[in-house]
């Protein structure tokens, strides 16, 4: 049975779900609240490993990021992704690739990639996450620009510093971008509003996750909102955790579904932590809570109308 705090978190979603059933049965219409609010349902329809699957069948992710100042960001993304997908590779841009070698001792569950092998591992990966701790120098900017131009058929999640070195016209249909309000304004030269998020997703054909007290996730065809999360998630590193979850889920799922499920699970994990320790938790605590939250969502029984 769900604890009180977790149950409270999904009450609004349940109300929308019940409303949907009632309206559908009576009038054959879908209430806006049920259609737009992200909930447990998004997690329940995520791809699940097949019983006969082998290593690599359930997701291979490459993370490119980190520099000498911000080496923790890609580490957080890699740690949470490693709980979801089969294989996580880690590399830095060529000028920062020494960092990957230095972090080997802390990346025991992951594979560090040498500079000369980056292209080979890009091809192996289902998804590439670029940006956590990357830096905004000219060489990093050039690397991201060239990557977007060359790998249009590769699923790419652009987070953090990667958002500060690109132009909107470089985005394509396989991209997910995960800005907060300031990053959104800087990238698109527009206020970070619900309507503008949807407008930019349609214009550039990508998926956009606008992080905030209320998260907005938009594809060119639809927009959804997420209300999980709390003030404890303003701490450094929680965005890197979200990027790692999003990238991991995108390995085996549609980009929009992956982005929706990721913000819900990330926020719900924070809410479950807040029930126990208020806002006094870290990004590392959040990572540890993600598997329990995913399991809870998968086993939660949606209400029925008799």
Give the residue numbers of the binding site for AMP: 239
Q: Which of 39, 50, 70, 42 is nearest to 239 (CA)?
A: 70
Q: Tokens at residue 25, please?
A: 């049965």
Binding site, annotated residues: 73, 133, 180, 239-240
How many residues does the structure list for the chain? 306
H or E element in which residue 226 lies? strand 223-226
Q: 145-163 burial string, b = 16+ CB within 10 Å, else e?
A: eebbeebeebbbbbbbbbb
Per the DSSP assignment, residues forming a β-bridge with 158 are 130, 177
Q: Are 286 and 228 in contact (CB under 8 A)?
A: no
Beta carbons within 8 Å of 207's beta carbon, 6+ residues apart? 175, 176, 177, 201, 217, 218, 219, 255, 256, 259
* CA end-to-end span of the chain: 21
SS3 137: coil
Which residue, chain included where needed, has tokens 């909107």? 168
Binding site, annotated residues for (6S)-NADPHX: 73, 133, 180, 240
- Cα separation, 83 vs 169, whole angstroms: 34
Q: Are 271 and 5 in contact (CB under 8 A)?
A: yes
Long-range residue pairs from 22-29, CB within 8 A, at least 24 positions apart, any chain: 22/305, 25/305
Q: Are 149 and 163 in contact (CB under 8 A)?
A: no
């Amino acid at each position: 049975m769900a604890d009180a705090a977790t149950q409270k978190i999904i009450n609004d979603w349940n109300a929308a779900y019940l409303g949907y059933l009632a309206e559908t049965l009576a009038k054959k219409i879908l209430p806006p609240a049920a259609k737009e609010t992200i909930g447990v349902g998004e997690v329940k329809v995520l791809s699940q490993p097949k019983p006969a699957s082998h290593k690599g069948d359930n997701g291979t992710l490459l993370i490119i990021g980190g520099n000498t100042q911000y080496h923790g960001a890609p580490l957080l993304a890699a740690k949470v992704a490693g709980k979801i997908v089969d294989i996580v590779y880690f590399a830095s841009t060529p000028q920062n690739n020494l960092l990957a070698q230095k972090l080997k001792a802390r990346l025991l569950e992951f594979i560090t990639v040498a500079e000369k092998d980056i292209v080979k591992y890009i091809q192996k990966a289902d998804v590439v996450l670029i940006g956590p701790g990357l830096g905004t120098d000219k060489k990093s900017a050039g690397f991201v620009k060239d990557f977007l131009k060359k790998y249009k058929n590769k699923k790419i999640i652009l987070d953090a510093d990667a958002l500060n070195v690109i132009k909107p016209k470089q985005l394509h249909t396989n991209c997910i971008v995960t800005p907060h309000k300031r990053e959104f304004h800087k990238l698109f030269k527009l206020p970070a509003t619900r309507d503008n998020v949807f407008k930019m997703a349609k214009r550039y054909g990508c998926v956009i996750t606008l992080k905030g007290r209320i998260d907005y996730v938009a594809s060119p065809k639809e927009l959804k909102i997420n209300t999980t999360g709390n003030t404890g998630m303003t701490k450094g590193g929680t965005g890197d955790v979200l990027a790692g979850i999003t990238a991991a889920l995108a390995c085996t799922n549609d980009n929009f579904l992956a982005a929706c499920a990721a913000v819900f699970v990330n926020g719900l994990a924070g809410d479950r932590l807040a029930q126990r320790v208020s806002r006094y938790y870290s990004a590392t605590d959040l990572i540890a809570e993600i598997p329990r939250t995913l399991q809870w969502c998968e086993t939660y029984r949606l209400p029925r109308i008799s």
